[in-house]
Structure 1
Amino acid sequence: MRIIAGAHKGAKLTSPSGANTRPTSDRVKESLFSMLDGYGVLPAANVLDLFAGSGGLGFEAMSRGAAQVDFVDSSLAATRALESNADKLGLDHSAEVHTGDVLHFLGGLPGPDHPESRVFDLVFMDPPYPLGEDAVTQILRRLSTYLDMESIVVVERAARSPEPTMPEGLEVFRAKTFGETAIHFVQLVAEPEEVSAAED
């Protein structure tokens, strides 16, 4: 696996040894980041990479200008590979690697009323395809606490899977299929008064 564009273009990433990971293909990644470039979300972004594996999406975002990435994976082999990749790329100062369950990680973040609360500009969520839709919805519900109206969540699923069920407050605003992979772009739903203000 390699980084396809930006400051670290061409850099090879270490994959977790013996881990059952499913890296996003270069074709999907190139199209995905082309769309993200169009939204202007990458420069100086605070990024969260859930089910990160070797970190192909998060490190690609950093190569293209993201300021900070938190990588989360439950596999120790994956997080060791993530730390190795961050060190190799000289990005260990702006990459935080967390070993553990995604829901547990999100539950441990400071809440919105806390002075150290977090807001993520961009979130990659690439769970194992067998992960049930209820679990995906539960993660999205927990995640919504750490988003603002400009945030984008990218959910990668099998093309044969149904569109993820959105919890209250979130919506899919764009979706695209690449062979066996489907990408869903998710954002917070604008409150009625915000929609009215935008139309005035």
Structure 2
Amino acid sequence: MRIISGQFKGRRITPPKKLPVRPTTDMAKEAIFNILNNNYYFDEISVLDLFAGTGSISYEFASRGTEDITSVDEDFGCIKFINKTAEEFEMPIKTVRSDVFKFLETTKIKSDVIFVDPPYAFSLEEFSKIPELVFQNDLLEDEGVLVVEHAKQMELSHLPYFSYSKNYGSSIFSFFEKAEEIF
């Protein structure tokens, strides 16, 4: 795994093999960050990385100058690895070891970008609960976006707040945004 852009571009990160993860591919990361780069100044936003796994997405944000990053994962090994890597690179990543659904039910953290990379084996009900909790608990800033990574077989376009999706190889990124109020 490598960081694809920013201050730490090209740096390789080698997570322990025993972590229960499926890291986002470099091609998919590059694509998603190109989309986000057109909408945000990375040094001005706050990011919530859910099901953070190895921390790959958090490292990309930090490498691009984001100072307010919170990574959430239930696995102790993942959190330990993210903390170790963030300390090694002096990245401003805060970690929370928690079940993501419980975290979303109780957190007061509002973010500009919420990136979610749950297990592809999740059911539609489990995937549906993510945007439901994010919007029900008002966890996005006004111009914020929720990005959910999932497999091609999972269709999320019928869910409330769905905006659009982008397909990259075996991954799809579905974007959810607050509806604009029309006066």
Normalized against structure 1, the TM-score is what?
0.85
**Where does residue 63 of structure 1 map in the other structure?**
63
- State the 1:164 CA deviation: 5.2
**Where does residue 175 of structure 1 map in the other structure?**
165
CA contact (8 A) 1:14 1:54 kept: no
Find the aligned partners of 1:174 and 1:65 in 2 and give their Cα distance: 26
**Where does residue 114 of structure 1 map in the other structure?**
none
Q: Which letter maps to 1:101?
A: D
Residue in structure 2 matching 1:102, options 76, 100, 112: 100
Find the aligned partners of 1:164 and 1:43 in 2 and give their Cα distance: 30
C-alpha distance 106-131 of structure 1, shift in aligned 2 (>3 A): same
Find the aligned partners of 1:34 and 1:15 in 2 and give their Cα distance: 25
Residue in structure 2 matching 1:152, options 136, 145, 150: 145
Aligned counterparts, 1:131-146, within 5 A:
131-144=122-135, 145-146=138-139
CA contact (8 A) 2:43 2:64 kept: yes
1:57-115 CA distance string (max 9 Å, x none) = 11101111212111011111111111111111111xx21111110011122223xxxxx
**Where does residue 46 of structure 1 map in the other structure?**
46
Identity score, percent: 30
1:107-128 CA distance string (max 9 Å, x none) = 2223xxxxxxx32000110100
Larger radius of gyration: 1
**Where does residue 121 of structure 2 map in the other structure?**
130
CA contact (8 A) 1:119 1:146 kept: yes
- State the 1:41 CA deviation: 4.8
Find the aligned partners of 2:14 and 2:48 in 1 and give their Cα distance: 19
**Where does residue 110 of structure 2 map in the other structure?**
119
CA contact (8 A) 1:16 1:53 kept: no
Find the aligned partners of 1:64 and 1:119 in 2 and give their Cα distance: 20
Q: Which letter maps to 2:96?
A: H
Q: Cα RMSD over matched residues?
A: 1.5
**Where does residue 8 of structure 2 map in the other structure?**
8
Q: Which letter maps to 1:44?
A: E
1:118-163 CA distance string (max 9 Å, x none) = 3200011010001111112212111121113200111100012212
Determine helix, strand or coil for the equivalent of 1:189.
coil
CA contact (8 A) 2:151 2:170 kept: yes
Find the aligned partners of 1:103 and 1:20 in 2 and give their Cα distance: 18
- State the 1:17 CA deviation: 3.8
Aligned counterparts, 1:64-83, within 5 A:
64-83=64-83
CA contact (8 A) 1:133 1:165 kept: no
CA contact (8 A) 1:152 1:185 kept: yes
